[in-house]
Amino acid sequence: MTSYDVTLKNRSSLKKRIWGAAALSMALILGVLGWAFWFEDFDFYHPKTPLLCSEASAQEHPLRFIAFGDFGQGTPFQARLADEMVKLSQRKPYGLALLLGDNIYPNGDINKLARSHFEDPYSGLIAKKMRFLAAIGDHDDRKGHKEDEMAYFKMPKDYYKVSEGPVDFFILNTTYFVRNPEQRAWIAKALAESKAPWKIVVGHHPLYSSGRNGNTEGTRAILEPLLVKYKVDLYLAGHDHDYERFSPMQGVRYIVSGGGGSYLYNFKQTQANSEVRLKTHHFLFVEVTPRHIWVKAINRFGEVIDCLDWDKQSSGSSANPPTGSVL
């Protein structure tokens, strides 16, 4: 073997070691990033002590419903929450679920993803003939799939009103609210004409949020005066993947419930009047009578992580002290 052959062999061996080291480094980097992503997504929150929450009695015959947003990804968190929804329905029967938007990630292609992202996780609710009232989120309105979701969920339009018991629900498409004068005129007229004891408005984008996306300023400038003028009781939203509730502002309660199963977000700048901020997967359980409303946030372990209730004649007082913040 000549010295030239030895040199070539050494170079080849060196290249193999370099490529091997590079591959190992890349694997370590991807592993760290994957762990960081998983840690970011995983919530470890448990209430320190059981919360003392009041609830409606069966004799009051309340309207019961659940609400949750930002869920349609087929994750284990979504499945675990769905299991808790079914367990709850066995104890407290309900027949209505509000979907707060981003129902099918990444782009609303429900024709392709309905089974894995919706029907399998919620098979227990579907078997109970659950009625789903869906709002369109920004992820639902991509690549022309908004109409597919509207057809799947039997939505008359991408904004509509539904009356159930003592509640009028007003479902909005907040992605295009500012740029849609027809929708803006409709919500003003619908709220003005409502005679229901309770008015609940649903929109994917929060008017107030301490989460990653923050306040939706353009929509808030137009919509909030209408909520105040027509005495809306509650505005439910998602978009930020967390749980947050605010003290009443000019008589209106705001709750962000975007922890339905997608990956979670960290909080950023705390907004004024924010009472509770929890980075956790959850859903809302609501009971309503003509005179009173009860709201609970329930995590994937079936634990109540926050609750409040108020009388129709009050400004919205919490029956449970704020549970604090998990940022």
pLDDT at 27: 56
Binning the chain into helix, strand and coil, the percentages to the nearest 5 are 35, 25, 45
Neighbour tally for 172: CB within 10 Å? 27
Pick the CATH number of 60-326 from 3.40.50.261, 3.60.21.10, 3.40.50.300, 1.10.1200.10: 3.60.21.10
Task: Assign 318 to helix, strand or coil.
Answer: coil
Q: Give me the helix-helix angle, 181-193 and 217-229, nearest 10°.
A: 20
pLDDT at 50: 84
Separation of alpha carbons 59 and 67, rounded Å: 23
Separation of alpha carbons 220 and 264, rounded Å: 24
pLDDT in tens, 166-196: 999 999 999 999 999 999 999 999 999 999 9
Residue 198 one-letter amino acid: W
Ranges of residues in the chain whose predicted pLDDT is under 70: 1-18, 20-44, 315-327
Separation of alpha carbons 293 and 316, rounded Å: 9
pLDDT at 49: 81
pLDDT at 245: 97
pLDDT in tens, 275-309: 999 999 999 999 999 999 999 999 999 999 999 99
Residue 135 one-letter amino acid: A
* Distance spanning both ends of the chain, measured CA to CA: 67
Q: For the whole model, what pTM was predicted?
A: 0.86
